[in-house]
Structure 1
Amino acid sequence: MKRVAAVDLGASSGRVMLGSVGPEVLELRELNRFWNGPVRVHGTLHWDLLHLYRSVLDGLHLAGRIDSVGIDSWAVDYGLLDTHGRLLGNPVHYRDSRTDGVMERVLSTVPASELYAVTGLQQLPFNTVYQLAAEELFSDAATLLMIPDLLAYWLTGEIGVERTNASTTQLYDVAARDWSDQLISRIGLPRRVFPRLWEPGDVIGNMLPDETGPAGEVPVIAVGSHDTASAVVAVPAADDRFAYISSGTWSLVGLELDAPVLTDDARAANFTNEGGVDGRIRFLRNVMGLWILQECQRVWGDDDLAGLLRDAADAPPFAVLIDPDAPEFLAPGNMPARIEEHCRATGQDAPRSRGAVVRCILESLALAYRRTLRAAQTIADRDVDVLHVIGGGSQNELLCQLTADACGVPVLAGPVEASALGNVLVQARALGEPFPDLRAMRALVRSTHSLRRYAPQGKPADWDAAESRLDGTR
């Protein structure tokens, strides 16, 4: 039996989980769960990295004897080290406004078609390349580390960037599987700051004595350090004819492929080709996800999600529809007021109750999933028999049913802690557990975790009409 610690950092909360893996055993136990969110300092949104690191250490100290540690987190954000290995300022949050207008400036130097031909990455204004282009790099900036790699560096003293997270920077050659020296040079960034790349399963190094405590030598192992890469490892699929939604603050909707799709159609549809474990490609598109609902709850001061979902289930269907990917929904703020303004701008009556607002958000998300899934299948020429919803959003029964209805395929919901499970499985394999491939890992997830099935219901014509109506408001 392997006992490993999975550090899993999401965009709104973090957790340290104790994983146990053995023959027919795959278990998780939560050791420490903690808040994660932006801190505004003089108008700039930052991540509180020292709080996160302290919380990670607290969780690891509760783990007792463990065989290894792995870290995954959200993508695109980074920290810069100086020549002495010291952090140059708190990492900036991707929702900060510093990248406003930067994408257009970069694309005037490197056209979107050329950028996509190399990176295969979805155009999002907060991608790492635009964050770097937005700031004046310190003259003594020596190393760029993505968030999981920064925490691993503090734990071990070893420097490098894990490949799946590097693939989200828009500075990574997805075909060559390495940093793109050409793009880095054309955009005017110093090549020196981009370190060596790790593969999922590589041993980064042992925890330093002052961090290990009484546990002895404990290796930190590179996992799929982009949390979605780890989550997709734990998709409980029986074959390749599946799609997935990693559902949380963001929803990542897509397919798992053997090779990137770098066609003009893929670029026009704004699909991304991110690296996965075992060299797979996560062909997906980001959809805003449950962030809009989370911000509504924050503004309302209402944490009774179950009650809100009951009210939403009773609200009239398709009364109000929004585009969840509209730019006005990206930044923190008064989300109910923004929905009301969005409705006015698109000629709709704003929802009049909280239940109606929630119904609007969830139906609009389901329509966004439908559009994305159908485009992915067409562009990648892949048929899908089942849609796996993993992550925290898999607990939202109303959203899962609406998703099945909208997409017209069965939805299998779970596991909830998919990122932590994928993290644990990659560590266990690196420690010698006999997982020859992803299929073997997924078989263990299926045999040890309960899933909930949602069959499509309702009238497909109603969703066709809703999609047409939403198209008319764009």
Structure 2
Amino acid sequence: MKKIWAFDIGASNGRLMLSSFNGEKMYMEEIHRFDNHPVHVTGHDYWDILHIFSEMKRAMQISLQKGHTNIESMGIDTWGVDFGLLAETGELLMNPYSYRNPRNQQAMEEALQWISSEELFRLTGVETAAINTLFQLYAIQKEHPALLEQAETLLLTPSLLSYLFSGEKYNEFTISSTTQMLAIRGRKWETSILEQLDIPTHILTPLVESATIAGETLPAINQELQMDAIKVVHVAGHDTASALAALPLADVPSVFMSCGTWVLIGVPIAEAVTDIKAMQWGFTNEGTIDGGARLQKNNMGMWLLQQCRKVWERQGTVTDFDRENRCFIDAPPFRSLINPDDPRFFNPDNMVEEIQHFCRETAQPVPETQGEMIRCILESLALKYNWVIQRLEQLTREKLNRIHMGGGAIRNQHLCQLTANATGREVVAGPIEASSIGNAIAQWIALGEIADMQEAREVIQHSFPVTHYYPEDSAEWQQVYQRFTQYIEES
């Protein structure tokens, strides 16, 4: 069977998956997984892009040592909005900033004095958020203008990593749609926005479609790893677009949820939705692997629990999934609830204390034990997802009867069941490695092994199991939801 390498790199870890395909069924094997966390230095949060690049090469070496020598291609998907700047020489000018940089909020507030959120949404269809590439660039222009003076090229993270392997400088469509710099129609950069903010436009590369071949691995890479050149493919570079491509959506109107550090909830759409309500509720229009659009909202995901674990580990408490599962079961339900997307939870020094402060301020019982904290987080997440889906129905004027959840966070079966309970909808969970599978699909299409997305979805259904969850205790959850909404309104 032919084989390919799919790199799925998230905001907390990265992985190399080996995909093989026999013409009817696809197989995925994890080769190597590595941590990926921002590095805080000189008052900023940076991505250690050379660490990521090094771990990717290490993963390829491990795969080759296992005898996987007949590799056809490789592709890379990552989180959105972040980027690297290249000098005229092709060298990286600096480690890329992380979207969690605190300076981005001030930059956004200043930029909105020159162009309004309403105008930005009309032009791009993208939610105005401090993490967006647009405001990161504005912050650089205000604080470090020399960087942009030296820069010749801006490459978004998956395109930057593809460049390090192939030497080709392009930005792929789906990852570009996260920037708030892409025109809502026409597959082109909305340069008028950058001109209003005095950001140079020459750094923007040509756009390329998903499932196209960028080039081949560089001779230096081939020599270092002692391998033959392989094709480098532009997959759906945004991990959510890759995850959506892997979900077995049926004809029934359905919601997709890409679940990880963030949980992105949305629906495929024929045309971008620019209703004023969509903007007010924080929805965004971004691209899909087949050149279409998806209406979605970015929501807090397992970040809350990940950051609590760090606190518990600093305090000397060993935690793992089995322990957390027992703690969750033993804790009473609906004791304390939070708005998981309150700005205070974006990047606090101590997540446990921030959640406790929220509960104290809203006159609720303060979660003290691990079980109470985990209950609070997971139940609040599920209730917020219901809030989002109800508004998706209003915007699309469709009854959305089913939820398709994919991504690493669906390993948490409690999250899946609570989502079914809170929303009153059937949940179809799987595949787990949705982004990696969607990444592989783009490569198989680019290589001509799969014809199109219709055939790809048939292959997915034959290749990967799913788990069904059905709503329980619906009446009780409806009552709790009414209580929960007040914390959304108060935040």
Q: What TM-score results when the alignment is normalised by the length of structure 2?
A: 0.94
Q: Give a deviation string over 1:365-411, Cα, whole Å, max 9, x none.
A: 00110010110111012222210110011111111111001111100
Instruction: Say whether the 8 Å CA contact 1:165–1:225 is kept in structure 2.
Output: yes
CA distance in 2, matches of 1:382, 1:194: 37
- Give the aligned residue type for 2:481: E
CA distance in 2, matches of 1:124, 1:48: 23
1:126 aligns to what? 131
Secondary structure, counterpart of 1:100 in structure 2: helix
Task: State how 1:277-316 maps to structure 2 within 5 Å.
Answer: 277-301=289-313, 302-316=318-332
| Residues 407-416 or 56-65, more deviating | 56-65
Matched, 1:413 2:440: no
Matched, 1:333 2:338: no
Secondary structure, counterpart of 2:250 in structure 1: coil
Q: Give a deviation string over 1:121-173, Cα, whole Å, max 9, x none.
A: 12221111111111134111111000111111111111010110110000111
> 1:215: Cα distance to partner?
2.8
Task: State how 1:417-428 maps to structure 2 within 5 Å.
Answer: 417-428=433-444
Secondary structure, counterpart of 1:192 in structure 2: coil
CA distance in 2, matches of 1:446, 1:393: 20
Q: List alignment gaps of at least 5 residues for structure 1.
A: none
Instruction: Say whether the 8 Å CA contact 1:241–1:386 is kept in structure 2.
Output: yes
> 1:31: Cα distance to partner?
1.5
1:467 aligns to what? 481
CA distance in 2, matches of 1:390, 1:66: 26
Matched, 1:99 2:97: no
2:255 aligns to what? 243
CA distance in 2, matches of 1:412, 1:388: 5
> 1:435: Cα distance to partner?
2.7
> 1:241: Cα distance to partner?
1.6
CA distance in 1, matches of 2:57, 2:154: 23
- Give the aligned residue type for 2:46: H
CA distance in 1, matches of 2:113, 2:194: 15
Matched, 1:55 2:71: no
2:472 aligns to what? 457
Stretches of 4+ moved more than 6 A in 1?
Answer: none
Secondary structure, counterpart of 1:116 in structure 2: helix
Which of 102, 107, 117 is 1:112 aligned to? 117
1:169 aligns to what? 179
CA distance in 2, matches of 1:171, 1:434: 32
| Residues 70-79 or 177-186, more deviating | 177-186
CA distance in 2, matches of 1:419, 1:71: 10
Matched, 1:221 2:233: yes
- Give the aligned residue type for 1:155: F
CA distance in 1, matches of 2:16, 2:177: 25
CA distance in 1, matches of 2:438, 2:348: 30
Instruction: Say whether the 8 Å CA contact 1:274–1:282 is kept in structure 2.
Output: yes
Instruction: Say whether the 8 Å CA contact 1:2–1:428 is kept in structure 2.
Output: no
Which of 195, 200, 205 is 1:195 aligned to? 205
CA distance in 2, matches of 1:7, 1:434: 19
Instruction: Say whether the 8 Å CA contact 1:32–1:59 is kept in structure 2.
Output: yes
- Give the aligned residue type for 1:15: R
Q: Give a deviation string over 1:187-210, Cα, whole Å, max 9, x none.
A: 211010111111101211111011
> 1:332: Cα distance to partner?
4.7
- Give the aligned residue type for 1:464: Q
1:323 aligns to what? 339
- Give the aligned residue type for 2:380: S
Secondary structure, counterpart of 2:186 in structure 1: coil
1:445 aligns to what? 460
Secondary structure, counterpart of 1:352 in structure 2: coil
CA distance in 1, matches of 2:269, 2:405: 18
> 1:21: Cα distance to partner?
1.7
- Give the aligned residue type for 1:428: W
1:352 aligns to what? 368
> 1:296: Cα distance to partner?
0.5
CA distance in 2, matches of 1:103, 1:382: 34
1:153 aligns to what? 163
| Residues 391-400 or 96-105, more deviating | 96-105
Matched, 1:87 2:101: no
- Give the aligned residue type for 1:357: M
CA distance in 2, matches of 1:212, 1:242: 44
Instruction: Say whether the 8 Å CA contact 2:242–2:435 is kept in structure 1.
Output: yes
Q: List alignment gaps of at least 5 residues for structure 2.
A: none
> 1:174: Cα distance to partner?
2.1
Secondary structure, counterpart of 1:193 in structure 2: coil
Which of 245, 258, 269 is 1:233 aligned to? 245
Secondary structure, counterpart of 1:191 in structure 2: coil
Matched, 1:74 2:79: yes
CA distance in 2, matches of 1:91, 1:279: 27
| Residues 98-107 or 86-95, more deviating | 98-107
- Give the aligned residue type for 1:173: A
- Give the aligned residue type for 1:471: T
> 1:24: Cα distance to partner?
2.1
- Give the aligned residue type for 2:444: A
CA distance in 2, matches of 1:48, 1:287: 25
Matched, 1:369 2:389: no
CA distance in 1, matches of 2:213, 2:482: 51
Q: Give a deviation string over 1:210-258, Cα, whole Å, max 9, x none.
A: 1124332211010000011101000012225211111110000111112
Instruction: Say whether the 8 Å CA contact 2:424–2:474 is kept in structure 1.
Output: no
- Give the aligned residue type for 2:19: G
Secondary structure, counterpart of 1:427 in structure 2: helix
- Give the aligned residue type for 1:29: E
Change (3 A) 1:101 1:467: farther
The CA RMSD measured in Å over matched residues stands at: 1.3
| Residues 37-46 or 212-221, more deviating | 212-221
Secondary structure, counterpart of 2:290 in structure 1: helix
Which of 255, 271, 283 is 1:271 aligned to? 283
CA distance in 2, matches of 1:367, 1:433: 41
